[in-house]
Structure formats: C-alpha cells, structure tokens
Amino acid sequence: MEETKHIKISDYNYPLPDDRIAKFPLPVRDQSKLLVYRHGEISETHFTSLPDYMEPGMLMIFNNTKVIQARLHFRKETGALIEIFCLEPIQPNDYALNFQQTEHAAWLCMIGNLKKWKEGPLHREMTVKGRTITLTATRGECRGTSHWVDFNWNDPDITFADILEVFGELPIPPYLNRKTQESDKETYQTVYSKVKGSVAAPTAGLHFTERVLDALRAKGVDLEEVTLHVGAGTFKPVKSEEIQGHEMHTEYISVNRSTIEKLIAHNGEAVAVGTTSVRTLESLYYIGVTLSGNADANEEELHVKQWQPYETHPTLTAVEALCQIRDYMDRHNLEALHTSTQIIIAPGYEYKIVKRMVTNFHQPQSTLLLLVSAFVKGNWRPIYDYALKHGFRFLSYGDSSLLIP
C-alpha cells in the first residue's frame, strides 16, 4: 500500500494541446474512433466495430445515471450574477425523494461569485408548467468548498425536478471553455440514461447507439446496468505531490439484486463501460468483503473507503464476495443495494471483477488516468502516445478505447 500512496502524480503527466480536446461530439455518436489495446498490441477502428471484439456469453455493465440540469442562476438586485451548482441532496438525502419534493429542498452546492453573496436570500421569478412561482435560495453553513443551500418555492404542485427541468442548466465539463448549448441536453446524455443524479456524464457511454447495443445483443453479449451518480469531484485535480494527499470524492451507487445474480452467473467477471462502472463493480467486491466479516453491516458501514483495498488482503473470490451481497439483500428483502464509494484505483491495485474496459482518454495527472494505468499494468503511456499521434480526440466528447490487458 505504501508504494501506491507514494505515487507521484507528476509521473502521470502528458502534453495535451487545447486543439485535441473535443469541444463538441461528432454528429453520429458511434462514428467516433476506437483505440484497441489488446495484450500490449495497439490498433484502431471505429466504435461501430466494438461488438467484433466481444465474445458470446460476456457480460457488459453500463452506468445508467442521467445528468441533471444542476446549475441555477440568480441575479441580485445589485446586478451581480450568482451561480448555484447543486452537487448532492441533503434534505432529503435520497436523490429520487429530493427531486419529488414540493415547496422545499436542500442541497450541498458550489457557489460561483460567492463574494457577492454575503447575506440574505436570493429570489427568482419563473414560469413552470404555466404557473408563476418564486424560487428562493438561502445560504446555510459552509462545508469544505461547498455550502448548504435551502431552496423554497410557493407552489405545492411544483416539484424540485420540475424547477431544474425549466430553470436549470446542464453542467458541461469546465475544460470545454464554452457555454452550454441546447444540443448538449441530448448529446451529453447516454442513450440509456434513466436515473437522475449526476452532474457529469459517464462519458464512455456517449458513443453507444441503439445500433451498437443491438449488435452486442446479437453477438450474445449480456447487457446489465448499475447506477453511480457522478459528482463534480470527478474533475477535481490532484494538487498534492503524492496521491496519499488527495481525498477522493464520495459517489453514490445503486445496484439491483438481478445484476448481482447476473454477475455471479458470469463467474464474477464483466466488461465495464466507463470508469464509473469500473468503480462501482470493484467497490462491490469490497462491500462483499465487509459483509463477510460483518453480516449485518448498515449502509454507512458498507461505504467503501478510499484506501480500503490496500489496507486489507482478502482471500474471497469475486463470486464469494458477490454471494455475500446477494445473501445480505435476501436477508433484508432488498431489491437494490444503495451505498457509496470513495475507492481510489491506482497502480498497485488488483482488479477483482473488471476484465475489459471501454473508456475515453482522460486528463493528465488525474485519478482516472491512475485507474487506467492500474488496469494496463502501468502501460498507459504507449496508449496515449498512439492516440496523440493518430488524431484521436480527447476527454468527455472525445474518442474512446477498449482495453484488454
């Protein structure tokens, strides 16, 4: 573990010119380029060819989270524009319940132009579902770099989800250096997005079309979904010299019992679409390990801590860990497991469930690049050198890779 903690993030730097960052997606999602890394060999094709690299009987896992229109803008009487960026629900702290709240909801938020909002509530009049309402935002306690914000509105028939739908703006990644456009509402969602809660898209999934999904099914590949709500922390740069100084953000996950069953039936092995699916699947292993030592752990105790994989040396197989979760869900009559993870996957980590990975090209010196490096046994640089030399587009709206270590 000590070796992993002392990894220098500067060793994971590479030159990324601004013109290589895809500012917009391609007109047709599945026409993006696909880099294939297979047992050390690198080649390229188009994303529509992905099914050719899968085998019948494989299990592919997707993250079905949906990006919410999480940015809210208020203008003070002085003319100052204040942006409130909803990060995660506080009251109630369940996403689905919070979206259905009427008259009041509380969120943990980042605030833009904070110095201009010293005191007092902010107000904005708006029309939602043909009804005129006033939305009020009141700033509460500071929590790290975020604030508690209470939202109140004067209509019991309007939900917070209704307000975000009309009044909110989709939060595209900061490195795109442009304003959100109407087209982003569609292009910055996966075609299979369902469960509202993310403030960033699981971008490897943006390449999939119904055409590609149908071709995978025709190939005999099993398709399953999990939910991990992507937080703004996914863009948080590593500012410490060594990664032990970086605190991973907490992300909330939900996995259906039927998905656990499917994983067990596939011998605890899966192809993960995107790093969020990777983090969910690998976290499941450690949740199973926790349950093997504490059969009635509560939701808080099932939370996967950042360094947990490096501090323990479990001997459970992936199937045994998954069976622990299934049995726990049966004992508690749960159809879905709801918990959270702070797992950091970096060189020194041993993958337990994920055998292949579809992922985009990530920012220099990011935790996502560490995750990829761990998967390809440190061999990330040739992959990125190839992508840079062969015209691949980078980051959220960029091209993707299929990694087969």
- The Cα 301–Cα 223 span in angstroms is 30
Give 177's DSSP letter.
Answer: -
**Residue 268 clears pLDDT 90, i.e. is over it:** yes
**List of residues 6+ apart from 32 with CB closer than 8 A:** 25, 26, 46, 47, 207, 393, 398, 399, 400
**Residue 235 clears pLDDT 90, i.e. is over it:** no
Give pLDDT tens digits for 69-120.
999 999 998 889 999 999 999 999 899 999 999 999 999 999 999 999 988 9
**List of residues 6+ apart from 105 with CB closer than 8 A:** 89, 91, 98, 150, 151, 160
Backbone angles phi, psi at 141, to 5 degrees: -65, 155
Tokens of 158: 């309007």
Mean pLDDT of 120-146: 93
**Residue 303 clears pLDDT 80, i.e. is over it:** yes
Measured CA distances, 68 to 97, 151, 399 (Å) = 15, 16, 23
Longest CA–CA separation in the chain, Å: 63
- The Cα 131–Cα 256 span in angstroms is 38
- The Cα 168–Cα 159 span in angstroms is 13
**Residue 14 clears pLDDT 70, i.e. is over it:** yes
- The Cα 206–Cα 297 span in angstroms is 36
Provide the pLDDT for residue 67: 96
Q: In angstroms, how far is the first alpha carbon of the chain from the final one?
A: 22
- The Cα 319–Cα 333 span in angstroms is 20
Looking at the chain, the whole-number percentage of residues with pLDDT higher than 90 is 91
Looking at the chain, the whole-number percentage of residues with pLDDT higher than 70 is 100
Q: Give the CA radius of gyration of the chain.
A: 21
- The reported pTM is 0.93
**Residue 134 clears pLDDT 80, i.e. is over it:** yes
Q: Which of 166, 169, 227 is nearest to 194 (CA)?
A: 227
SS3 label, residue 225: strand
Mean pLDDT of 275-285: 98
- The Cα 393–Cα 26 span in angstroms is 10
Helices (H), 294-377: 308-311, 318-331, 367-375
Q: Which of 138, 172, 214 is nearest to 22 (CA)?
A: 172
Measured CA distances, 367 to 63, 141, 276 (Å) = 19, 29, 12
Give pLDDT tens digits for 173-220.
988 989 999 999 999 999 999 999 999 999 999 999 999 999 999 999
**Residue 1 clears pLDDT 80, i.e. is over it:** no
Tokens of 86: 């909803």
Provide the pLDDT for residue 84: 96
Tokens of 342: 């702070």
H/E element, 99: helix 95-99
Let me know if 354 is exposed, middle or buried by CB neighbors in 10 A (0-12, 13-18, 19+).
buried
- The Cα 17–Cα 15 span in angstroms is 6
**Residue 2 clears pLDDT 80, i.e. is over it:** no
No. of H helices and E strands in the chain?
A: 11, 17
**Residue 341 clears pLDDT 80, i.e. is over it:** yes
**Residue 236 clears pLDDT 80, i.e. is over it:** no
Answer whether 196's CB lies under 8 Å from 165's CB: no
